[in-house]
Structure 1
Amino acid sequence: MAISIITKEDLQQFKIELLEGIEILLKGKTTEQKLWLRSSEVKKLLNISSGTLQNLRINGTLSYSKIGGSLYYNYKDIQKLLADKKQ
């Protein structure tokens, strides 16, 4: 069994490489946005209640697609809604 000596410089280099790897992973996750969101995700994103989301559907402010019993909202429609309401 061979013995390897790890120096302080080795640990610093490992730290730099590890942090760079984590940064790359985080950048990849933040740039990915799902195209279709469920109701719970939209409520969380917009910080609104179920009733408010229902009102947005009913008055046609926010379009949706229903598949089975689940409602899906296009992320681009949500962005457009926010841009239109921007003051």
Structure 2
Amino acid sequence: MPTSIITTDDLQDFKMELLQDIKELLNQQKSGKIKKYLKSAEVMDYLKISPGTLQNLRIKGILPYTKIGGIIYYDASEIQKVMEENRVQHLEY
């Protein structure tokens, strides 16, 4: 099986894509097209990420969540807060 090397640029690109997807999710929430609380499956479907990636975002404290019984919920407004705190602005030369 071929081996792939992941560079820091690859990780930065992934981060930017992920943050853009979260931003779009929050824009839908603001327009009333999305619920206030999202289940894990809904977040994974929208962001097109795996369960492992979502779990890593929780473990690392990137995405806040609430667990009631065995169900994990994500507050869309909290995701908006994460988006604003992690916004990266590129300087143009």
Give yes or no for TM over 0.5.
yes
**1:76 to partner: Cα distance:** 1.0
**Residue of structure 2 in register with 1:52 after alignment:** 53
2:46 partner amino acid: L
After TM superposition, where is structure 1 displaced by more than 4 Å over at least 4 residues in a row? Answer: none
Separation in 2 of the partners of 1:79 and 1:39? 16
**1:73 to partner: Cα distance:** 0.5
Superposition TM-score, scaled by structure 2 size: 0.54
Identity over aligned residues, as a percent?
Answer: 48
Unpaired runs of 5+ residues, structure 1, are 1-29
Q: Which has the larger radius of gyration?
A: 1
Q: Which has the higher contact order (CA 8 A, sep 6+)?
A: 2
Aligned length: 58
Unpaired runs of 5+ residues, structure 2, are 1-30, 89-93
Question: Alpha-carbon deviations, 1:48-79, whole Å to 9, x = none?
Answer: 11111000100101111111110001011222
**1:82 to partner: Cα distance:** 3.1
